[in-house]
Amino acid sequence: MDWEALSLSLRLGLFTILVLLPVGIAVGRWLAFHDFPGKSAIEATAALPLVLPPTVLGYYLLVAFGAASPIGQLWHSAFDRPLVFTFEGLLLASIIFNVPFAVQPIQRGFEAIPREVREAAICCGMTPWKALRTVEIPIAWPGILTGLVLSFSHTLGEFGIVLMVGGSIPTETRTIAIAIYDRVQAFDDRGAATMSALLLGFSLVSIALTFAFSRRIGRRLDRS
């Protein structure tokens, strides 16, 4: 049981949803409330990581952020560490790769808010922030939570990207998924089995939670 790897994965998931919470709400809300030419293109772009093979994204991240790239070199001179093969690089990859898992459920959550309720908030003279806090989020929260749960559990399962951009460095980029791969190669069947069972259990719990929250999207309004 590689506790360091588990801790690393949990931290990666946590930071990913910390960033995707505001980003997901901003983008999901914007897509839910506005219709404009090119909206489908934006939605498709946000959904791209769903169908993109992780190694493809990993490849492009290496090209865009690797040591040879301008961004990579800028980062290196600023922080004295490369962007790839570090926790920060993994976090960046994780954020990009989880955009659809965060944005889509949150968008559904905000779409469930009836137009009249939003218009009433505007008529009351609420600022967008107040409307968001007091009117929209109380209705959209199941979608927001679904997005966070999905993003978190998806982060724990990431493999292809982590392998390409991470480098399997213990306490830095060796996530629990990579650790399982490593244990198998080390002929440590027990370690691999323990961690696999743990991840299986965790995935079951998170998918059950996701379904439970999804059922609640829009439900609160039906009661009145």
Partner 1 sequence: MANRISDPLFFLSALFAGLLSVAAAGLPATAATATVAAASDLRFALAEIADNFTARTGHAVRLTFGSSGNFSRQIRQGAPFDLFFSADENYVLGLARDGLTRGTGALYAVGQIVIFVPEGSPLQPDGSLNDLRHALEGGRLRKFAIANPEHAPYGKRAEEALRHEGLWAAIQSRLVLGENVSQAAQFAVSGSTDGGIIAYSLVLSPRMARRGRYALIPEALHSPLRQRVVLLKNAGLAAERLYDFLRTVPAKSILERYGFVLPDSGG
Query: Which residues have CB under 8 Å from 177's CB, separation 6+?
Result: 9, 156, 157, 158, 159, 162, 199
Among 23, 126, 198, 209, binds partner 1 (CB under 8 A): 23
Residues 6+ apart with CB under 8 A from 114: 221
Name which of residues 135 to 164 contact partner 1 (CB under 8 A).
none
- Give the residue with the Cβ less far from partner 1, 157 or 167: 167
How many residues appear in the chain? 224
Q: Where are the alpha helices (DSSP H) in the chain?
A: 3-33, 39-51, 54-65, 70-79, 87-111, 115-123, 128-131, 137-157, 160-165, 176-185, 189-216, 219-222
Smallest gap from residue 27 Cβ to partner 1 (A): 9
Residue 86 phi/psi, 5° resolution?
Answer: -135, 165
Q: How many residues bind partner 1 (CB under 8 A)?
A: 39
Nearer to partner 1, 134 or 171 (CB): 171
Q: Does 22 bind partner 1 (CB under 8 A)?
A: yes
55-114 residues near partner 1, rule: CB under 8 A? 62, 66-68, 72, 76, 79, 81-82, 84-88, 91-92
Contact residues for partner 1, defined by CB under 8 A: 15, 18-19, 22-23, 26, 30, 34, 62, 66-68, 72, 76, 79, 81-82, 84-88, 91-92, 128-129, 167-172, 174, 182, 184-188
